[in-house]
Structure 1
Amino acid sequence: MRHLAPPAAASSHVCAPHAVVASLLLLPLLALLAQATAADEGAPTVVAIEIAGNQYLQRETLLYYVTSKVGDPYDERQLRADFRRLWDTGFLDDLQVESFDETGGGKRVRFKVTERKRIQIVDYRGSKELTTSTIEEALKKNDAQIKIDTFYDPAKARKVEAMIKEMLAQKGRPFGSVKHEAKNIGGSGQQLSFVIDEGPKAKVHEIAFDGNTVFSDDKLRGRMKKVKQPGFFNLSWLGGKTTYTEDKWLGGEEDPRGDRGRLEDFYLDNGYVTARVGQPKITYTDGKSGWFKKKPVKLMKLEIPVTEGEQYRMGEMKFEGLTVLKEDFVRGYFKMVPGSVYNDSKFKKAYEKLRDVYGSLGYFQWTGSTQRKPDPEKKVVDITVKMEEDKQYFVGQIKFTGNDSTRDKVIRREIYMNEGEVFNTEALKMSIKRINQLGYFKAMEGAPDIRPSELADNKVDVTFKVEEQNRNQFTFGGGVSGLEGTFINASFSTTNFLGAGETFQVYLQTGKRSKNYSLSVSEPYFLDRPITAGFDLFKRKITYYSYGNTAGYTQDSTGVSLVSGFMVGKWSRAFL
């Protein structure tokens, strides 16, 4: 064992005060360094590092977080750091570090672990309104799905509880409750169950308005489409319209305006530009509902506050941001004259028409908005129509995806746009109709994929995503006829032969008395022009037997017929 030696003789010289203080401060540090050096020199060596208690986690995975290695000096400070790193992984419920003396002076280190249990089963119980698939789809959409073979996270489970409760409210059950239970199964598994108590159904029993004097309650209730007061003639019994949700009132993805927006639009369309519709006050009373078996329900009364204000008439209308079109031309789309009652719906219709006009000129990102400035004294409202025209766009590249068998050429000839031309939204709409009219693909319901082009800042690439559908038909049959006797026949026809857009048909029939063969081919774009050209080859033979005084004979015919046609307008063809 190594010891530190004492000084040989004591010195009697006097030191300066600041030197004494510095020496006193350095003494503890020097002592620690001396101890650490002595410890490193005399520390035993780590001869083995073990992992004990792991079931599913690989030994190598756990050792990845351990910096102590076999052959290193035994260092408890480093082991404490390894302990912290392992614990911070979140893989473990319990962790212990043990060390054992080995023969020869070495140290054997053991990390004794207890793994966290993993979720093996997730189930949802107690709800008739919400199915398991409905819940899982909603959780997946909101990135809150609890996956199998993951660790149980109470915070995430509580988030799922809140989402299921919100889904119950959307179904008209705001008094529902959800709680989760985690139960151990097997050695290291857990079953996570969400127990759902739907609570009583909440139904709208009465809708009343507060503050309305111009329009009656019945008139305002008639403007609401998603939430209705019970009644037979208003069809409230269809589609769950007697349930109230925030999405139905304020609007959601499928219905952006909601019933509140529809009420405000109704007032705007009648000149009440300062009208406001507030949040309903909801009161509940106990009741029962049902045709045969009465069930407890919560009856809702909605009291909707309304501030109508005064009716305004049209004042001055001016335009901002208008550079592409002339003001006189644009003004003609707004069917409003000074002095008439303000009607917001006329502005919306004008914007729809102007969107088509701008779109046909390449300004497909144009937007228009209305800025209203009411004058309470004159009861008129001045309008500023703001135009966000953006820049003019041109067609970059036109691409097609999903046409595995149909050639690009067949689709491209139906497109009313060319690369390099102005991006015309009206031509785009007609192109979609033309592609759907072919019948080769499933109907395209949405718009194609439009992305900025790499060719230029003012160009966009258009990708038409199509999905092939089978246009081939094969038939096989047979029968007996008094005229033709016994026969069998087979046919094959397609309207998109080899993906070239051609019509092809072959028909074969043979029997004891008759034979019939035909081959038909038709090309809708002969020589790459919208001209239909085709032919029909046929050979027919039928034998009539002698009967009584009638002599038998055989009728044999062979020939060809030609077909031609041309476009009539954009959607029809005439044939000769």
Structure 2
Amino acid sequence: MKLYSERFSIPVFRRNLFAVAAFSLCAGQALAMEPFKVKDIRVEGIQRTEAGTVFSYLPVRVGETFTDEKSVAAIKSLYATGFFKDVRIEVDGDVLVVLVEERPAIASVEFSGIKEFDKEMLTKALKEIGLGESRIFDKALVDRAEQELKRQYLSRGLYGVQITSTVTPIERNRVTVNFAVEEGDIAHIKQINFVGNKAFSDGELFDQLNLTTPGWFTWYTKADQYSKQKLAGDIETLKSFYLNRGYIEAQIESTQVSITHDKKDIFITININEGEKYTVSDIKIEGQMFGREAEFNSLLTLKKGDVYSGEKLTASTAKISERMGNFGYAFANVNANPQINREKKEVALTILLDPGKRVYVRRINLAGNTKTRDEVIRREFRQFEDSWYDGTKIRLSRDRVDRLGYFKEVNIETPEVPGSTDQVDVNMSVVEKPTGNLMLGAGFSSSEKLTLTGSIQQANAFGTGNTIGLDVNTSKRNRTIALSQTDPYFTTDGVSRSYELFYRTTRPAETYTYDYRVLTSGGSVKFGVPFSELDTVFFGIGAEHTSVQTFAPPIISPQKWIDFVRDNGTADAGGAGEAAVTSFPLTAAWQRDGRDSAIAPNKGRYQRTNLELSAVGTLRYYRAVYQDQYFLPITRTMTLALNGEADYGRGYGGKKYPIFKNFYAGGIGSVRGYEGSSLGVGTSVDSVTGESLGGSTRLIANAELQFPFPGSGNDRTLRWFTFFDAGNVFAEGQKIRAT
């Protein structure tokens, strides 16, 4: 084989190097070769790379003709793989020889000196960009990772950070990559200054910012650590603050951030041009309103004569857009056009309404429900496929699914259908949460001996939406076997059905001096009929058999239990006796649930009332329960929860109210801070034993301020709260009074 230049031929070595073609071109010459037919291809220098991989990138195969153009293309193609740091092509007779030098592989990526970040998280993040164990080493990626890591430290206020990356070659053409970090001290915001503000004081503006100077809790909130993103958010907050108070032309002209030489203190200066305060001279709506002008005008929260407020204007246009969405106009354009009169310091607003095309829902898609069946979610939807888009029904569907209590998160989106101008899909995504509760326990005490407890509650059994429960308790004080089942969609119209079978034995608290026994067995069936999206009426019937046993000294029974036995059975002079009673209670209840979530509500109201009446059997009584809950969002993450409950029971037809139907208070679920079922005054407490006997009347009031648990993110089920509880129980005939 001979290698030819442009002008003359020169005999050369039998093995010719064609990789010098690029150099020759740069030097102003082009070395040419006579094309030849390739009889074989040989690859040299590979260690980890398969020969077949190299062959796949070559533009020539055995039996084909090799040319200058294919030589250049082959070198470029192999370089582009990133596997090699040197590529040469030589010819040995009719054999094409490809010589490569592989890039080293990364044996490990290590970190030292890192405290601010989790090392495993960093290792995973670097691997996603190609810098990880067993990957091909690329110095550019190391430099990029070093800069990104430094940027992350700066965002956390560590301006003195020093990062050094070291690449160490090891055997078998491998390298180890180490990032050595000196984090330094965190830089804190020493001072925030405002320049140009006249209408509002520095303190008022300072209260609007998330960034702050060091304080009592900034060690936890880290609000005194500067970041560019936080400052940008605070600038937008200041703009909104001025805009909502009439300063429609207010501008944040500039911000200056300076850091001390030791990189420990940061000073921020914010320059403000407030402009003038404007009032609304007129506000009107123009566009296609389908004869609903009065309805749309009633949605305006910003009125003529008001101080201009960007927040109120946005709320007004949002309400109009939302109302248009209820009519099927999902893509309605509602824009406000301000006309400013600087002399009078007034602004006239014209809201332009363009409904666009009426939209209908093509398909409802569900995602995230790996356990819950689709039908359990779909039957809660009030927006249907192939129907006009209705924003209210879509929001109601989301709330109904959230109120099921099966999901930690429920999100809904309505993207446009590609290629269509009048269709959307409704995409609901959920994050399931455990809906089952399994409790097993065992204990031993000198009074109660061996105690075994267990319960299973499954609110979404097998993903069907049905609730089943089994409760077993073998303690000396409370022995229970109860089986329950609820089908929320017993009929396709949403009528629910609940069964319960139970066997319960109750004894007093642990003591050697007094005792009594209450044994109740029975069952019930209840139905729930929805009358509106929020209201459900329940009705049912039950059958109960109760046996009460009291004792004579030296074991003493509370006098009220002895009185009940004497009224309904037999008891001797010492108080020992037994009574057995039956009842067939009828129940009627009403429930209104307007909460946005059944698990962790943030807003809305929940009300329920229940009436139980026993008109057949040994007993004659009625008991009524009313509960009212109200949830008020104080901030985006903080909620005020109020709860009140009033319970009342009485006997009739010459019968006394049965003591075993008494209400109790104290402990979790009623009045926290007291022992369970311990509250009571006067005749609701036994004069001999001091035991609370409950009462036929109960009043409870609770107030909670709920706020998210640190580190829980968007999980609303985990919250801190501070509470104030009050309540008590009162015996039949006892005057209700504060104690």
**Structure 2 length as normaliser, TM-score?**
0.57
Q: Distance in 2 between matches of 1:118 and 1:480?
A: 62
What residue number does 1:241 align with? 223
Structure 2 unmatched runs, 5+: 10-33, 506-518, 540-586, 588-739
Q: Give the SS at the match of 1:525.
A: coil
Q: Give the SS at the match of 1:314.
A: strand
In the alignment, is residue 230 of structure 1 matched against residue 214 of structure 2? Answer: yes
Deviations 1:175-198 (A, max 9, x none): 434443322122211223333343
* Contact 1:203-1:297 at 8 Å conserved across structures: no
Q: Distance in 2 between matches of 1:43 and 1:352?
A: 73
What residue number does 2:423 align with? 459
Q: Distance in 2 between matches of 1:173 and 1:557?
A: 67
In the alignment, is residue 312 of structure 1 matched against residue 278 of structure 2? Answer: yes
Q: Give the SS at the match of 2:223.
A: coil
Which amino acid is 2:84 matched to? Answer: L
Structure ID, larger Rg = 1
Q: Distance in 2 between matches of 1:174 and 1:50?
A: 54
- Assess, with a 3 A threshold, how the Cα gap between structure 1 residues 127 and 351 changes in structure 2: closer, same or farther: farther
Deviations 1:217-274 (A, max 9, x none): 22221221x2113345xx5555111122221121xxxxxxx11111122222222222
What residue number does 1:443 align with? 408
In structure 1, which of residues 331, 348, 357 is the aligned counterpart of residue 297 of structure 2? 331
- Assess, with a 3 A threshold, how the Cα gap between structure 1 residues 572 and 135 changes in structure 2: closer, same or farther: farther
* Contact 1:136-1:145 at 8 Å conserved across structures: no
In structure 2, which of residues 526, 529, 532 is the aligned counterpart of residue 563 of structure 1? 526
Deviations 1:446-476 (A, max 9, x none): 22x4344589752333243345555556677
Q: Distance in 2 between matches of 1:537 and 1:475?
A: 20
* Structure (1/2) with the larger strand percentage: 2
Q: Distance in 2 between matches of 1:111 and 1:237?
A: 61
In the alignment, is residue 180 of structure 1 matched against residue 165 of structure 2? Answer: yes
Deviation at 1:321, TM superposition (A): 4.4
Q: Distance in 1 between matches of 2:520 and 2:272?
A: 84
**Percent identical across equivalent pairs?**
26
Q: Distance in 2 between matches of 1:487 and 1:228?
A: 56
Q: Give the SS at the match of 1:444.
A: strand
What residue number does 2:607 align with? none
Q: Distance in 1 between matches of 2:496 and 2:147?
A: 63
Which amino acid is 1:364 matched to? Answer: A
CA root-mean-square deviation = 4.5
In structure 2, which of residues 325, 337, 346 is the aligned counterpart of residue 371 of structure 1? 337
Which amino acid is 1:248 matched to? Answer: K
- Assess, with a 3 A threshold, how the Cα gap between structure 1 residues 330 and 90 changes in structure 2: closer, same or farther: same
Deviation at 1:330, TM superposition (A): 2.7
- Assess, with a 3 A threshold, how the Cα gap between structure 1 residues 180 and 338 changes in structure 2: closer, same or farther: same
Deviations 1:483-528 (A, max 9, x none): x999999876644455544444568999xxxx99876554433332
What residue number does 2:696 align with? none
- Assess, with a 3 A threshold, how the Cα gap between structure 1 residues 319 and 299 changes in structure 2: closer, same or farther: same
In the alignment, is residue 213 of structure 1 matched against residue 188 of structure 2? Answer: no
Deviation at 1:405, TM superposition (A): 5.4
Deviation at 1:535, TM superposition (A): 4.8
Deviation at 1:302, TM superposition (A): 1.4
What residue number does 2:116 align with? 129
Q: Distance in 2 between matches of 1:538 and 1:201?
A: 62
Which amino acid is 2:407 matched to? Answer: K
Q: Give the SS at the match of 2:187.
A: strand
* Contact 2:188-2:213 at 8 Å conserved across structures: no
- Of 424-433 and 401-410, more deviation after overlay is shown by 401-410
Matches within 5 A, 1:55-66: 55-66=47-58
What residue number does 1:414 align with? 380
Q: Give the SS at the match of 2:241.
A: helix
Q: Distance in 1 between matches of 2:449 and 2:196?
A: 86
- Alignment length, in residue pairs? 496
* Structure (1/2) with the larger helix percentage: 1
Q: Give the SS at the match of 1:446.
A: strand
Deviations 1:145-193 (A, max 9, x none): 5244333333333332332222112101234344433221222112233
- Assess, with a 3 A threshold, how the Cα gap between structure 1 residues 134 and 324 changes in structure 2: closer, same or farther: farther
In the alignment, is residue 93 of structure 1 matched against residue 77 of structure 2? Answer: no
Matches within 5 A, 1:254-273: 258-273=233-248
What residue number does 2:700 align with? none
* Contact 1:273-1:374 at 8 Å conserved across structures: no
Q: Distance in 2 between matches of 1:522 and 1:196?
A: 59
Which amino acid is 1:443 matched to? Answer: K
Q: Give the SS at the match of 2:157.
A: coil
In structure 2, which of residues 251, 255, 259 is the aligned counterpart of residue 284 of structure 1? 259
Q: Distance in 2 between matches of 1:339 and 1:489?
A: 68
Structure 1 unmatched runs, 5+: 1-27, 33-41, 101-105, 251-257, 287-295, 542-555
What residue number does 2:327 align with? 361
Deviation at 1:433, TM superposition (A): 2.5
Q: Distance in 1 between matches of 2:175 and 2:402?
A: 52
What residue number does 1:529 align with? 493
What residue number does 1:291 align with? none
Deviation at 1:205, TM superposition (A): 0.9
**Structure 1 length as normaliser, TM-score?**
0.71
